[in-house]
Structure 1
């Protein structure tokens, strides 16, 4: 039975009587103790050996061989029990089954003659237990003569049982204490959970109330802002009429017979009225920008030409000794609104000229990367304190200026310029050093001209035209409008139109009638026309059509692009 070089035999026990099974139990406990097993493992090993020995040896006798497998890192006590089992059984739980629960491993082999070999393995805790010296001590101890003392073994088993019961009772007490502590912890957790739930509910209620208050404040602020915008727009319109009247009267007075003092006074009156009209116009522009009604009509803009025109209008405002330099690369074009962009640049230039007594005003245009154009307006004027760099973009704010008390304004120019810059898809920033000057930086997206050119939108519904105008903004260079077919024909006759998007149902000359007129005229017979209607079916076969119920920017751009490429291929019968 001895296998490889790492296996060493410790001793044998013949199993002929029940007393020998008791002896095997004693030997197994003693061997386990000598090899380093603790008390509980010694009891488990002894019990497993007695159960297997009683079952395997039976009435025919058997043999138990104790060995040590000293494999490096995993030493084991190995016991081979050989014999012929007794006939009959002990129920479902056999000795081998019991042993499998008590040791690390149990292997069973059976021979043809009915004999059986059961191998029990129990891992040893310390490799030092299988040293040659220790194994010699174990062999010597196991080989000493001994008698099977059933009564003594019973006492030992009773002692072990008492210890096991005491350990079980101690564990039960520990479990009771742990359960009590767990119950106490659970009560604390539940109390904390309840408290946190109450606090969370209270917090949620407060958050809901805060959101409701913020919503109400937001509505109030929006209403106040709308009221302010309406007020500015209304006041601006109302003031224009009397101011224009004053200008007209001063013009008449200037043409009359006036002495020198009267002429000077009329001049003051005229300049004051013009200054007032400029303020009124700024108020109206600001109100329009704030209300979101700033219509952007994008066309191709040559930035050099635009700045060249502005240069001519600003140069007369320069103080003696102040130079104006404009550096614009050739070929820089934008697809934007020239009027709005011109207002922003004019505002920045006049502002720089107003606060510069000496030095220069420099305008530079750069294209740092694709899709972006940067316009910088730099002056050598009085500068802006750091704490006012953002407040200069607030309405009616004016930087305190002791050096140039005469250089005053309305405080509306820069707020208007920033809002218009944002409406054009750009931004306006400022950097400044007091006493050295200021630099305003206007950044614009360098969008290319859309694929569609000048598109005429024909519809009698103002709201519908506004929707279509917004949908066409990304794809059309310019959108012009007409309220019916007759007005559309007039617009087409007055100027170039690249495509027409026309409603079918309109009072007077409807879309179909206008289409027949266009096709019958050689000048416009190939003009691309797309019909639109609330109907789902095209009213005219072969003519591009889009349903109003399914309008979107991409769809409109696609149908107009296709119409532009195939215009004139289909004739409409008169």
Structure 2
């Protein structure tokens, strides 16, 4: 098939309209066939190159006809919308002969849109297809084309040769022009390539220089980072050290003030001692804030997670905050009574107390409202503290969580704080696995939103604690109080085995001390593994000494807390129950 242009579909025989018939017997008929091809191409609106291609294809197939004997070429057209020229050539093929074996037919395949072979009454027929412009056959064009093709022709070989030579000269001129265009294009491409190469070289040099600068910048940033980290550590150590050093003399001042207050003083002296006591207590509060912040910044904020009833916690806080509210300011608490989460109750109370105290300090009228509920994702708890107070200017919103920044308070200009409460509250919120954010509008109030991710109290089912020290069992029982459904106890390995043998249902996990008189931890574990009933029972070993060389999870008693203990036991049992 020819790759030229869109390939036309086979024509419907009923739509074919005959234009001309050329009998092909000898070489002179091939010349006539070529002339007819050129003329019909011109009459149907083909460009010069396509006219030459059509004429050449017809002459090449005509030569195959002459070589085999005789035949004829019948030219048809198909109407729009897919107008085309269809030429049926008989005599080019013999029965059983394949058209691909004939060079003339193969040449036609390369020159035209489509070449088919059909069965005819006198043998195979080669069908040539060439698309033509749709307008070529509109109106009376068909009759005019047919009449023009009907005129007699002279099969003058010399004349046809001159025509072919002229066509060849034009083709050579076109090829020369195209070659000149290609030469110019290649020269332009080479020039462009030289420019691109120069630009690439320049960009590579600049990039290498930039990379060197970036490497140097990263090195400088790393050094600055180390310096900042060192400075921050130094600041934290300083705050912690100074806080500890200040607490002792402040506590001494409070003690001496208490002694003076109970002594023999006149009224003025008693008032002055009262001022001294109040100032010392304010100073102690600031020192404690510094110590808390230093502990939080150092990453040593210990989180002891327990079951927390949020409604009860907020009810207790509300009782301590109400006396701080101005006359006419309401405190509203909206918390579901069943909202329970697993977190550090003391740290959570500090954060909420800080938020409520700030709200009371900056609210002159209206209300302070606390709302709590499940987060939208269902996995967290959101506590929002909203007030109708002074609000925070937009330029200060990014600073309220910075250390030592204090929001201006026109209601109590004489009341000064440390500017450490909110930074500490945010760090504690992050230590609890949550976040603390604020939105505010001047003279309309502020809303601080505390989001905590951990909300569900994990349960471990039934836990058997095996330890010979009663104090250790008491501590473990307390650590497991909020995580285990039931805690069973045994004083040594023998009692543990007896308890398990008599139990109708095995516990979910065994917490086994390593060093015990009589049957110690490893021996008890071996006995459990030898009994088919307890062979698969999860066991976690614990000790204040080094871990024994046995295949079982191990906990260091010196580093136990509720969270770590529950996590280890859940891992041993394959997850929370």
For Structure 1 versus Structure 2, the TM-score category normalised by the shorter chain is 0.7 to 0.9
SS of equivalent to 1:76: strand
User: Are residues 236 and 155 of structure 1, via their aligned partners in 2, closer, same or farther at CA, if it must alter by over 3 Å?
Assistant: same
Q: Structure 1 residues 452, 181: closer, same or farther in 2, change over 3 A?
A: same
In 1, distance between residues paired with 2:397 and 2:120?
A: 102
Match of 1:94 in 2: 103
Partner residue, 1:365: 371
Match of 2:290 in 1: 283
Kept in 1: contact 2:371–2:385 (CA 8 A): no
Query: What is the DSSP-based 3-state SS (H/G/I as helix, E as strand, rest coil) of the residue aligned with 1:80?
Result: strand
- Please state if 1:423 is matched with 2:431: yes
CA distance in 2, matches of 1:184, 1:541: 87
Q: In 1, Cα distance between the equivalents of 2:441 and 2:24?
A: 109
1:240 matched residue in structure 2: 247
Alpha carbons of 1:497 and 1:383: their partners in 2 closer, same or farther (altered >3 Å)? closer
Distance 2:129 2:575 in 1: 91
Q: CA deviation at 1:560?
A: 5.3
> Aligned pairs, how many?
514
SS of the aligned residue for 2:417 comes to coil
Structure 2 counterpart SS, 1:391: coil
Q: Which of 30, 50, 53 is equivalent to 2:62?
A: 53
The structure-2 alpha-carbon separation of the partners of 1:453 and 1:315, relative to structure 1 and needing over 3 Å to count, comes to farther
Structure 2, unmatched stretches of 5+, are 1-11, 95-100, 482-489, 515-520, 529-536, 541-550, 556-563
Shift in Å, 1:253: 3.0
Q: Which residue of 2 aligns with 1:18?
A: 27
1:387 to 379, 383, 395: 395
- Contact kept? 1:67, 1:79, Cα under 8 Å: yes
Partner of 2:162: 155
The whole-number CA distance in structure 2 between the counterparts of 1:199 and 1:138 is 70
Q: Deviations over 1:273-323 (max 9, x none)?
A: 222211111111111112221112122223343334334444555566666
2:72 maps to 1:64: yes
Give yes or no for contact 1:236–1:281 (8 Å, CA) kept in 2.
yes
Q: Is the 8 A contact 2:464 2:510 kept in 1?
A: no
Matches within 5 A, 1:101-112: 101-107=110-116
Cα distance, 1:118 vs structure 2: 5.0
Q: In the alignment, is residue 492 of structure 1 matched against residue 478 of structure 2? A: no
Cross-structure match for 1:407: 415
> RMSD value over aligned CA atoms?
4.4
Q: Is contact 2:61–2:108 with CA below 8 Å preserved after alignment?
A: yes
Match of 1:300? Answer: 307
- Deviation of 1:330 after TM superposition, in Å, equals 3.2
What is the distance in 2 between the residues matched to 1:84 and 1:522?
Answer: 104
How much has 1:237 moved relative to structure 2?
Answer: 0.9
Change (3 A) 1:80 1:322: closer
Q: Does 1:262 align with 2:269?
A: yes
TM-score by length of 2: 0.74
Q: Tell me: CA distance 1:146–1:395, structure 2 relative to 1, closer, same or farther (3 Å).
A: closer
Asked if 1:123 is matched to 2:130, the reply is yes
Matched, 1:38 2:47: yes
How far is the alpha carbon of 1:205 from its aligned partner?
Answer: 3.3
1:545 aligns with 2:545: no
Partner of 2:496: 519
Q: 1:173 to 1:538 in 2, by over 3 A?
A: farther
Query: Aligned pair in 2 of structure 1 residues 499, 78: CA closer, same or farther (>3 Å)?
Result: same
Q: Quickly say closer, same or farther: Cα 1:66–1:307, change in 2 above 3 A.
A: closer
Match of 1:469? Answer: none
Say if 2:568 is the partner of 1:556: yes
CA displacement, residues 114-144 of structure 1 (integer Å, 9 cap, x when unaligned):
x865535242523454569545444544444
Give the whole-Å Cα distance in 2 for the aligned partners of 1:12 and 1:379: 102
1:362 is paired with a residue whose SS is strand
Once the two structures are superposed, the pairs formed by residues 172-211 of structure 1 within 5 Å of their partners are 172-211=179-218
Matches of 2:415 and 2:345, distance apart in 1 = 28
| Equivalent pair of 1:64/1:82 in contact (CA under 8 Å) | yes
1:225 pairs with one of 219, 232, 242:
232
Q: Which moved more, 1:401-410 or 1:554-563?
A: 554-563
CA offsets 1:413-457 (integer angstroms, 9 cap, x no match): 222222223323333344555556554444445712211389899
TM value normalised by structure 1: 0.74
In 2: Cα distance, 1:182 partner to 1:143 partner: 53
Q: Which residue of 2 aligns with 1:529?
A: 510
Unaligned runs of 5+ in 1: 86-91, 459-484, 501-512, 566-574
CA spacing shift, 1:559–1:290, aligned 2, 3 Å: closer
Contact 1:454 1:498 survives alignment (8 Å): no
Larger mean Cα displacement after TM superposition, 194-203 or 164-173: 194-203
